[in-house]
Amino acid sequence: MTRRVLCFGELLLRLGAPGRELLLQSPLLQVQIGGAEANVAVSLARFGHHAAMVGTVAGNALGDAALAALRGHGVDVGRVRRDPGARMGLYFLATGAGLRPSEVVYDRADSAFARAGSDAYDWPALVAEFDCLHVSGITPALGQRCADATVAAMRSARAAGLEVSFDGNFRPKLWAAWQADPATVLRAVLAEATIAFADHRDIEVVLGPDADAHADTHEARILAAAARAFAAFPQLRRIATTLRGQNSVDAHSLGALLVTRGGDVHRVAPQAVEGIVDRIGAGDAFAAGVLHGLLGGMADGDALAFGHAAACLKHTVPGDFNLVDAAAVGALLRHERLDVRR
């Protein structure tokens, strides 16, 4: 079933050191397009949905290249504004190796997207044609204007009866740049969400630590935090998250969990993910996969399994975007052989 999903967020240029080099170890950077919400839009488009972006890019060749990249993957970019006097947001990536983790350096201050306030977007008109709005915690972390725009978008979407999807994506470096109080800002954001992609750490940013918690496992901490979130936010119906274990940068395990307001708990057992090519965007691939399932009428457990499989496959694809389609995810779910497809 094809659904219409609107994603609100910043399109970025990703400047990556070659291979596993440190930043500027050699005088080369590889340029790719990314951004959390754009990653979700690309996945949903490849899964067969009508996915659209709304936001603002620089009105120059860099902004045009970002729009062309999304358009090439089937994303509708007709609602993205161009600001001729502004710059693109950037992030720099040094991919880790072995026991050295990857590192991200942001350069997003005063970007075209960060400069655009809520009044730049006619939210009631923008959301009217869609079934779902997807945002993430990265956008309100960029400054008060972006925080206000996020809340306005979500309120308009919920008033129009849309599914409202929020991915926690807590980024301490971005919040620290403008000395904001993330708990206050994110409480207003989470108050509008109907589904949240968040673990106990994301929820504790908003609600504070649980002084009464005695959970001694990762899953138990998530379930305790989910119970608090459902109590605090009455419109929230589902919380989903991955559960990641790490032996090294190149060898992880990935499980998944989905909890409903009614108390149902769905699990996907941890899967070994080895020989990792690029883990950036795996959480976005998970969110897109779960949304694909839920919007398409899958049962909660099946939607979780689809999202988990999509996230596992993202580790095999270079760049921010997960370029696999629904057939490839289905093949993994069916445990099909890994022979060369001819």
What domains can be seen in the chain, in order of their start residue?
Answer: 4-237+283-289 (3.40.1190.20)
Whether 64 has a pLDDT exceeding 90, the answer reads yes
How many other C-beta atoms are found inside a 10 Å radius of the C-beta of residue 26?
11
Mean predicted confidence (pLDDT) in 183-198? 97
**pLDDT at residue 214 is higher than 80:** no
Q: Which residues of the chain form beta strands (DSSP E)?
A: 4-8, 12-16, 30-34, 50-58, 76-83, 89-94, 103-107, 132-136, 163-167, 195-197, 238-248, 251-260, 265-274
**Measured between alpha carbons, how far is 283 from 10 in angstroms, rounded to an integer?**
16
The two beta strands, 50-58 and 103-107, are unpaired
| Nearest partner of 323 among 53, 50, 46, judged by Cα | 46
**Which residues form the catalytic set?**
284
Nearest-Å Rg of the Cα atoms of the chain is 19
Looking at the DSSP bridge assignments, the partners of residue 135 are: 166
| Average pLDDT of span 174-194 | 94
Position with higher pLDDT, 337 vs 303: 303
DSSP 128-150: TT-SEEEEETTTGGG-HHHHHHH
The tens digit of pLDDT for each residue in 196-207 reads 999 999 999 999
How close are the terminal C-alpha atoms of the chain, in Å?
Answer: 29
Cα dihedral sign, 137-138-144-149: negative
267, two tokens: 């699990």
Mean pLDDT of 37-51: 98
Residue 17 has pLDDT above 80, yes or no: yes
Question: Which candidate, 143, 147, 136, 149, places its Cα nearest to that of 176?
Answer: 143
Residue 261's φ and ψ, nearest 5 degrees, are -60, -35
pLDDT in tens, 27-36: 999 999 999 9
Q: Tell me the pTM.
A: 0.96
The CA distance from 317 to 198, in Å, is 23
Closest CA to 296 of 262, 245, 253, 330: 330
Is residue 304 scored above 80 in pLDDT? yes
- Judged against a pLDDT cut of 90, whether residue 180 lies above it is answered with no
User: Do 108 and 255 contact (CB within 8 A), yes or no?
Assistant: no
- Measured CA to CA, the distance from residue 197 to residue 312 in angstroms comes to 16
SS3 sequence of 54-121: EEEEECCHHHHHHHHHHHHCCCEEEEEEEECCCECEEEEEECCECCECCEEEEECCCEHHHHCCHHHC
**In this predicted structure, what is the pLDDT of residue 115?**
95
List CB contacts of 157: < 8 A, sequence separation 6 or more: 6, 123, 127, 130, 133, 164, 192
